[in-house]
Structure 1
Amino acid sequence: MGDTSALANIPRVVIYPTRDVLWTCLYPLKGIIYFIGHPFLYPLLRARLLPAFLLSTFVLLNLFFWAYLPQVAFLALFHRSGSAWVNGTFLVLGEGAAIVAILFECFLVDESQVDVFDAVLVEKGFEGLVRNYRPVSEDSLNNPVHRLGKPTKSSVYGPFSFRQIAEFVILLPLNFIPYFGVPLFLFLTGYRAGPLQHWRYFKLRDFDKRQRNAFVKRRRWQYTWYGAVYLVLQLIPGLSMVFLLTAAASSALWAVDLEKQRQQAEAQLAPSHQYRDDPLDSSV
């Protein structure tokens, strides 16, 4: 009897959570596809593309010129075969991502990420959420970006997190570990990065700190793996700033699915208001 009960719990404990995590890992890729397929988002990219590309290229070229070979030489003391070159590459890319995040992301691209996130929600029919923080016009030639008014409240896509930057830098030495260092680094930094990608969603839902933490805790593995995939895209030279905007689209798509699930759950819990006559007394 006990074995049967344990087997019956396998889908709930193992299969369904694994399926949800794997599905969540696809959102960053879905965000890229969505961004490409919806030209109304292109102006938000064009406004940031040139300065983003120039800045990230400048930072990475300097890091690879000045820091790459010394770090590979240092890693070679701990690594066998050619893994020092691979880990050294990820180490420099990680350093570049941290520097670019400090110089660019937190100061220049956040407003565009908010517009991308809100435009996706509007396009998907969830403008009610967005109206809590900015007006949304009813008609603008089917262009969700043009429908967005100026924010009436403080609107931040992802807050500047000194703790995240500090953890990112502190965890960089994990790349010293042969073979397992890079995946471990991405996983641990994704733990913090994932939930921050839904900061805008939490604000639109008016979550306080307790509600936000509880929401994330129920989806901790999903957020961690989402954050890890997001960071992998951030490590692609020259395209990290582009993927900041596609990440906003992907997090919005995830928020849309979460809202649909919430609406379905509320509909199932809502009491039935259908009129029903009492059954006739057969004895009459």
Structure 2
Amino acid sequence: MSESEPKLRNRVVDSISRRAEHVLTDDYGKARAMATDAVQSRAYLYPIKGIFYFIAHRSLWKPLLDRIVPYGALTASVIGAMFVITYLPQLAVMALFNGPLAVYTTVLLTLNESSIIIHMISRTWLLQESLMDTFDGTMVARNATAVVQQGREVHAGSDPMKKLGKVFKKRFEKLSLTEMIRYVMYLPLNFIPLVGTAAFIFLHGKHRGNIVHSRYFQLKNWSDLQRKQWIDTHSGAYASFGVVATLLEMIPVVSVFFSYTNTVGAALWAADIESQNNPMVKETAPKLRQAAAESLE
């Protein structure tokens, strides 16, 4: 072996070590920034606020009550079919990875799969208009009527839901094929005990957070560039909201209730942003104006 070979090997090892250190430092910095953003924005509290606000305002119950029977039938049918068809085959596979814990992890996996199927069907066909009305009604109740009027008629009156009129701006975005594929791709993470399930919830929640204000952005008529800039700047806040919302909607039977309370929570958050009662607003407003100017060039 020549003398140059050990030196070359050492240089390669040093180079890889430096790059690994740079990657770890960069990832740590991003994770720290996301955590700081989540804590400062308090976005993770809005799904909880949505529960209490929804319970305290009976006028917001109507969209849920109108859909409770068909949603209940859908939920019972999907969960029943999934346990009959997929539980035992999946238990056999999970037993290879999780041992005695497979009985419990398979139940969680089957519930996750059922939740995704129910979510895809209900959000695309059953609950789309209903959730949009809940979001708009909450915004009106929180004195953000001017924003809602950018996308629909708002009549006079005291009941925020009865004030909602004809919609003339794009509805809630339907679940795309890309999102469906993403859900399916994340599912194998559940084969990894505990850590895999936590990763599944985080990834699913992080994506969920990115779409919770789709209706708000539509009403504000923000461009794709403005939306991306806002969400990228506040990725920690939206991820924390999405994780909490996902955990709530994973609870069987009552998941539909949390679909509505999470929508209320998202609207409360949007109303606070609109009234500048949130620390996210002041720091990002100049960047949004710049992004808007760039989109017009």
Matches of 1:14 and 1:186 in 2, distance apart? 17
Aligned AA for 1:70?
P
How far residue 134 of structure 1 moved from its aligned partner, in angstroms, is 0.9
Corresponding residue pairs, total: 252
Alignment partner of 1:72 is 2:88: no
Matches of 2:73 and 2:34 in 1, distance apart? 45
List, as ranges, runs of 4+ consecutive aligned residues in structure 1 with deviation greater than 3 Å. Answer: 12-16, 262-266
Counterpart selection for 1:27 from 34, 46, 54: 46
In structure 2, relative to structure 1, the CA distance for the partners of 1:63 and 1:85 (3 Å cut) is same
2:237 aligns with 222
Aligned AA for 1:202?
F
Could you state the TM-score of these two structures normalised by the residue count of structure 2?
0.79
Equivalent pair of 1:194/1:228 in contact (CA under 8 Å) = yes
How far residue 14 of structure 1 moved from its aligned partner, in angstroms, is 8.7
Greater share of helix residues, 1 or 2? Answer: 2
1:62 aligns with 81
CA deviation map 1:189-236 (0-9, x unaligned): 112111111100111111111111001001111211211222222211
In structure 2, relative to structure 1, the CA distance for the partners of 1:13 and 1:113 (3 Å cut) is closer
CA RMSD after TM alignment: 2.3
Equivalent pair of 1:28/1:247 in contact (CA under 8 Å) = yes
Matches of 1:47 and 1:15 in 2, distance apart? 38
Matches within 5 A, 1:1-284: 16-20=36-40, 23-82=42-101, 84-138=102-156, 140=157, 142-156=158-172, 158-261=173-276, 265=282
1:279 aligns with none
* Unaligned 5+ runs, structure 2: 1-31, 287-297
Matches of 1:133 and 1:259 in 2, distance apart? 15
* Unaligned 5+ runs, structure 1: 1-11, 270-284
**Which shows bigger deviation, 230-239 or 211-220?**
230-239
In structure 2, relative to structure 1, the CA distance for the partners of 1:203 and 1:262 (3 Å cut) is farther
**Which shows bigger deviation, 174-183 or 146-155?**
146-155
How far residue 69 of structure 1 moved from its aligned partner, in angstroms, is 2.5
How far residue 18 of structure 1 moved from its aligned partner, in angstroms, is 4.9
How far residue 102 of structure 1 moved from its aligned partner, in angstroms, is 2.7
In structure 2, relative to structure 1, the CA distance for the partners of 1:201 and 1:14 (3 Å cut) is closer
Please state whether the residue corresponding to 1:261 is helix, strand or coil: coil
Aligned AA for 1:94?
N
Could you state the TM-score of these two structures normalised by the residue count of structure 1?
0.82
CA deviation map 1:27-49 (0-9, x unaligned): 11211111111000121111000
Aligned AA for 2:257?
V
Matches of 1:198 and 1:73 in 2, distance apart? 40
Equivalent pair of 1:32/1:243 in contact (CA under 8 Å) = yes
Matches of 2:175 and 2:144 in 1, distance apart? 26
How far residue 124 of structure 1 moved from its aligned partner, in angstroms, is 0.8
Matches of 2:76 and 2:35 in 1, distance apart? 42
How far residue 248 of structure 1 moved from its aligned partner, in angstroms, is 1.2
Equivalent pair of 1:48/1:109 in contact (CA under 8 Å) = yes
